[in-house]
Structure 1
Amino acid sequence: MTSVAIHWFRQDLRLADNPALSKAVEAGRLLPIYILDDDTAGEARMGGASRWWLHRSLEALDRQLGGKLRLYRGKAEEILPQLVKIYDAQTVSWTRCYEPWRIKRDKTISSRLELAGCRTIRLNGSLLWEPWSIKKQDGTPYKVFTPFYRKGCLQAPAPAMPMAAPHSIAFCAAKANDGALSLGDLGLLSKIGWHDTLEPYWEVSEKGGADCLAQFIDGGLDGYKTGRDFPSLAHISRLSPYLHFGQLSPNQVWHATERLAEDQGVPAADIDHFRSELAWREFSYSLLYYNPDLPSVPIQAKFADFEWQSDEALLKAWQSGLTGVPIVDAGMRELWQTGYMHNRVRMIVASFLIKNLRIDWRQGEAWFWDTLVDADLANNAASWQWVAGCGADAAPFFRIFNPVLQAEKFDPEGIYIRTFVPELAKLPNKYLARPWEAPSSTLQEAGVTPGESYPNPVVDLKHSREMALEAYKRLSEG
Structure 2
Amino acid sequence: MKTVILWFRRDLRLADNPALRAAVEEAERVIPVYLHAPEEEAQWAPGGASCWWLHASLQALSQDLAAKQSRLIIRRGQSSLSLLRELIDETGAEGVYWNRLYEPLIVERDRSVKAALREQGVNAKSFRAHLLREPWEMRTGKGEPYRVFTPFWRTLAKQGDPPQPLRQPPTLRPPGQWPSRQTVAELGLLLRPRWDRKLHDLWQPGEAGAALALDHFLDGAMAVYKDGRDLPAESDTARLSPHLHFGEISPHQAWHRARARMAGQARLSEGGEAWLRQLAWREFAHHVLFEFPHSSDEPLYERWAGFPWREGYQPLLRAWQRGETGFPIVDAGMRELWATGYMHNRVRMIAASLLVKNIRAPWQEGARWFWDTLVDADLANNSMGWQWSAGSGADAAPYFRIFNPWTQSKRFDPQGRYIRRWVPELAELPDRDIHTPQASAPAILAAAGIQLGRDYPEPIIDYKTSREEALAAARAIRQS
Tell me which interval the TM-score lies in, with the shorter structure as reference length: over 0.9
Q: C-alpha distance in 2, partners of 1:287/1:455?
A: 39
Residue 344 of structure 1: which of 343, 346, 350 is its match?
346
State the one-letter code of the partner of 1:57.
S
The equivalences for 1:94-243 within 5 A come to: 94-150=98-154, 152-175=155-178, 178=180, 180-243=181-244
Q: Is the 8 A contact 1:388 1:395 kept in 2?
A: no
Q: Does 1:296 align with 2:297?
A: yes
SS in 2 for 1:15: coil
Q: Is the 8 A contact 1:388 1:397 kept in 2?
A: no
Q: C-alpha distance in 2, partners of 1:200/1:257?
A: 27
Q: CA deviation at 1:397?
A: 5.9
Q: Is the 8 A contact 2:313 2:360 kept in 1?
A: no
Q: C-alpha distance in 2, partners of 1:174/1:473?
A: 67
TM-score scaled by length of structure 1: 0.97
Q: CA deviation at 1:77?
A: 1.3
List alignment gaps of at least 5 residues for structure 2: none
Q: Is the 8 A contact 1:414 1:429 kept in 2?
A: yes
List alignment gaps of at least 5 residues for structure 1: none
Residue 316 of structure 1: which of 306, 315, 318 is its match?
318
Q: C-alpha distance in 2, partners of 1:102/1:203?
A: 27
State the one-letter code of the partner of 2:38.
D
SS in 1 for 2:31: strand
Q: Residue deviations 1:55-82, cap 9 Å, x none?
A: 0000111011117111111210111112
1:6 maps to what in 2?
Answer: 5
Q: Is the 8 A contact 2:114 2:125 kept in 1?
A: no
State the one-letter code of the partner of 1:72.
R
Structure 1, 112-121 or 52-61: larger mean CA deviation? 112-121
2:90 maps to what in 1?
Answer: 86
The equivalences for 1:246-265 within 5 A come to: 246-265=247-266
Q: CA deviation at 1:122?
A: 0.8
Q: C-alpha distance in 2, partners of 1:265/1:143?
A: 33
Q: C-alpha distance in 1, partners of 2:433/2:239?
A: 30
SS in 1 for 2:267: coil
SS in 2 for 1:97: coil
Q: CA deviation at 1:157?
A: 4.8
State the one-letter code of the partner of 1:474.
A
State the one-letter code of the partner of 2:81.
E
Q: C-alpha distance in 1, partners of 2:161/2:215?
A: 22
Against the structure 1 CA distance between its residues 415 and 173, is the aligned structure 2 distance closer, same or farther, given a 3 Å change threshold? Answer: farther
State the one-letter code of the partner of 1:153.
L
Q: Does 1:77 align with 2:81?
A: yes
Structure 1, 216-225 or 165-174: larger mean CA deviation? 165-174
Against the structure 1 CA distance between its residues 283 and 449, is the aligned structure 2 distance closer, same or farther, given a 3 Å change threshold? Answer: same
Q: Is the 8 A contact 1:326 1:434 kept in 2?
A: yes
Q: CA deviation at 1:474?
A: 2.2
State the one-letter code of the partner of 1:25.
V
State the one-letter code of the partner of 2:166.
M
State the one-letter code of the partner of 1:468.
A
Q: C-alpha distance in 2, partners of 1:271/1:118?
A: 44
Q: C-alpha distance in 2, partners of 1:84/1:194?
A: 38
Percent identity between matched residues is 45
Q: Does 1:412 align with 2:411?
A: no
SS in 2 for 1:263: coil
Q: C-alpha distance in 1, partners of 2:222/2:361?
A: 36
Q: CA deviation at 1:471?
A: 1.6
Residue 360 of structure 2: which of 334, 358, 363 is its match?
358
Q: C-alpha distance in 1, partners of 2:425/2:175?
A: 57
Q: CA deviation at 1:240?
A: 0.3
SS in 2 for 1:455: coil
SS in 1 for 2:182: coil
Q: Residue deviations 1:302-338, cap 9 Å, x none?
A: 1111100142110000001010110000000111111
Q: CA RMSD in A?
A: 1.4
Q: C-alpha distance in 2, partners of 1:137/1:302?
A: 26
The equivalences for 1:11-90 within 5 A come to: 11-26=10-25, 27-66=27-66, 68-74=71-77, 75-90=79-94
Q: C-alpha distance in 2, partners of 1:441/1:396?
A: 44
State the one-letter code of the partner of 2:170.
H
SS in 1 for 2:296: coil
State the one-letter code of the partner of 1:450.
L
SS in 2 for 1:386: helix
Against the structure 1 CA distance between its residues 462 and 124, is the aligned structure 2 distance closer, same or farther, given a 3 Å change threshold? Answer: same
SS in 2 for 1:344: helix
Q: CA deviation at 1:379?
A: 0.6
Q: CA deviation at 1:18?
A: 0.5
Q: C-alpha distance in 1, partners of 2:417/2:103?
A: 38
State the one-letter code of the partner of 1:71.
I
Q: C-alpha distance in 2, partners of 1:175/1:254?
A: 37
State the one-letter code of the partner of 1:122.
S
State the one-letter code of the partner of 2:46.
M
State the one-letter code of the partner of 1:255.
H
Q: Is the 8 A contact 1:221 1:266 kept in 2?
A: no
State the one-letter code of the partner of 2:133.
W
SS in 1 for 2:162: coil
Q: CA deviation at 1:264?
A: 3.3
Q: Is the 8 A contact 2:353 2:390 kept in 1?
A: yes
Q: CA deviation at 1:289?
A: 0.8
Q: Does 1:421 align with 2:394?
A: no
Q: CA deviation at 1:440?
A: 1.4
SS in 2 for 1:107: helix
Q: CA deviation at 1:396?
A: 4.6
Q: C-alpha distance in 1, partners of 2:262/2:208?
A: 25
State the one-letter code of the partner of 1:201.
L
Q: C-alpha distance in 1, partners of 2:302/2:5?
A: 44
Q: CA deviation at 1:369?
A: 0.5
SS in 1 for 2:96: strand
